[in-house]
Amino acid sequence: MIGRLNHVAIAVPDLEAASAQYRDTLGASVRAPQDEPDHGVRVVFIDLPNTKIELLWPLGEDSPIAGFLAKNPAGGIHHICYEVDDILAARDKLRADGARVLGDGEPRIGAHGKPVLFLHPKDFNGTLVELEQA
C-alpha cells in the first residue's frame, strides 16, 4: 500500500536557525518558509536526492507543534510521511485493519497541495504517520 518515503518532519524551536544549519552546515537545498494555517504550522522543506526533510514551527499556541515543543523543547522528529496511490482506499483498508485515522478521517490538503491523513502513533510503534496521495 505505501509507496516512497515523502518526508521526515522535524519540529524545531527556531525555524531560521534550523534552516541555516541545513543550508550552511550540511549544504542542503533549503526552500523558503511557507505558512500552513489549516495545520497550524510554518514549514520549510529541505530537498534531498531521495526524499525531503520538513522543518515544522508552530503558528500560534493552538498549534499541535507548540504542544510537541512544550514536551520536547529541543525539537525532534514529529512524523514520517509515506505516499499512497489512493488515499481513500488506503484509509478504508487501514480502518478495516483496526488502525485509527486522526481527526474526522477525511483527507485535508497538506503542504504539497495534495490530500493527507494522519494515523495514530499508538498503532504504528509510537510513530505519527502521515499519508499523502501521490
Element (H, E) at 104: none
- Write out the catalytic residue numbers: 130
Structure-block grid coordinates of residue 24: 550552511
Rounded distance, CA 54 to CA 56, Å?
A: 6
Distances (CA, A) of 101 to 9, 14, 61, 95: 18, 30, 24, 7
* Burial (0-12, 13-18, 19+ Cβ within 10 Å), 43: buried
Q: How many CA atoms lie less than 13 Å away from 55 in the CB half-sphere? A: 23
